[in-house]
DNA sequence: TCTTAATATTCCTTTACACGTATATACGTT
DNA sequence: AACGTATATACGTGTAAAGGAATATTAAGA
């Protein structure tokens, strides 16, 4: 069984989970909305299901998948040890979150990113 | 540049971050406390530094590493879309978190984990 | 039963990554 | 300068995982 960290490292799987956070979806719907091949969707769903992150129910030929958020709590618990920094460095944090949404231009490798 | 998700998927790197959450550490201290080889520690620190998750300062021959929590906020932001489930399914969540700390006995593969 | 739709699985190939070993670099001490 | 300590990097190797194409399975409908 894979750890929840291994499961959510895959961008497609995070996208699937994000989609399911809104509502239950069939495989075909996921395929269409995320522009993935059908086998790819099924394979990712298999991983997600094995890790307990989703759950399926049958509706005729379709399988409707919904989220099972419990394993994500493990990530939340792990993160909590760093929340102390959130509160004490709010400014830098907000700057960083703003940065995230921007397409960063190319950066040469090997340089230390320490801004000081 | 790797995404923060790719960085924290590695258990050793999560362990390093956990250690640094407490206090600044030298490479040798990390090596000793986590029972890792020196090259392994250096390599993981390189990944962490490239991703902006740690930062180093020089102290004689030693390099002291400390945490830079900002990128972890990205994980927190992603997780937030699932927090709605936390509040509405607290019981199942607590059960799951209790489970996590238990060494789960072997489970045969291929079975659907849907408990219903 | 034959066919179509929806989903799952298998096989194959490619890529990425983690580790160990060995070596390089940097700093300090004598 | 020579040596020791601390850290970083290079190289080779094994492994695992993701994607595409093809195929298998399951259920519905005619």
CB contact under 8 A, B79 and A75: yes
Q: Please give the mean pLDDT across all residues of chain A.
A: 85
pLDDT at residue A70 is higher than 60: yes
Rounded distance, CA A67 to CA A54, Å?
4
Nearest CA in chain B to A47: B110
Element (H, E) at B58: strand B54-59
| A100 confidence band (pLDDT: 50, 70, 90) | low
Count the neighbouring beta carbons within 10 Å of the beta carbon of residue A30: 22
One pLDDT digit (tens) per residue for chain B, 116 residues: 899 999 999 999 999 999 999 999 999 999 999 999 999 999 999 999 999 999 999 999 999 999 999 999 999 999 999 999 887 666 666 667 677 666 544 433 333 433 33
CA angle centred on B89, ends B6 and B92, rounded to 5°: 80
For strand C, the positions having any atom within 7 A of a protein Cβ are: 5-10, 17-22, 26-29
Rounded distance, CA B116 to CA B102, Å?
22
CB contact under 8 A, A114 and B55: yes
pLDDT at residue A113 is higher than 50: no
User: Which residues in B lie closer than 8 A to residue A96 (C-beta atoms)?
Assistant: 70-71, 73-74
From the CA of B52, how many Å to the C1' of C24?
25
Contact B56, B42 (CB under 8 A): no
Rounded distance, CA B75 to CA B97, Å?
19
| C-alpha to C-alpha distances, A56 to A49, A68, B41, B61, nearest whole angstrom | 8, 10, 41, 56
The pTM assigned to this predicted structure is 0.84
Q: Choose among A5, A73, A96: nearest Cβ to B97.
A: A73
């Amino acid at each position: 069984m894979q750890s929840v960290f291994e499961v959510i490292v895959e961008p497609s799987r995070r996208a699937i989970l994000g989609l399911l956070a809104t509502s239950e979806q069939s495989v075909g719907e996921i395929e269409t909305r995320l522009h993935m091949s059908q086998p790819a969707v099924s394979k990712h769903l298999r991983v997600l299901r094995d890790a307990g992150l989703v759950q399926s129910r049958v509706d005729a030929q379709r399988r409707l998948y919904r989220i099972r958020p419990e394993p994500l709590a493990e990530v939340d618990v792990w993160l909590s040890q760093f929340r102390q920094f959130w509160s004490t460095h709010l400014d830098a944090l907000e700057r960083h979150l703003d940065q995230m949404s921007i397409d960063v231009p190319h950066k040469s490798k090997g340089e230390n990113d320490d801004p000081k």
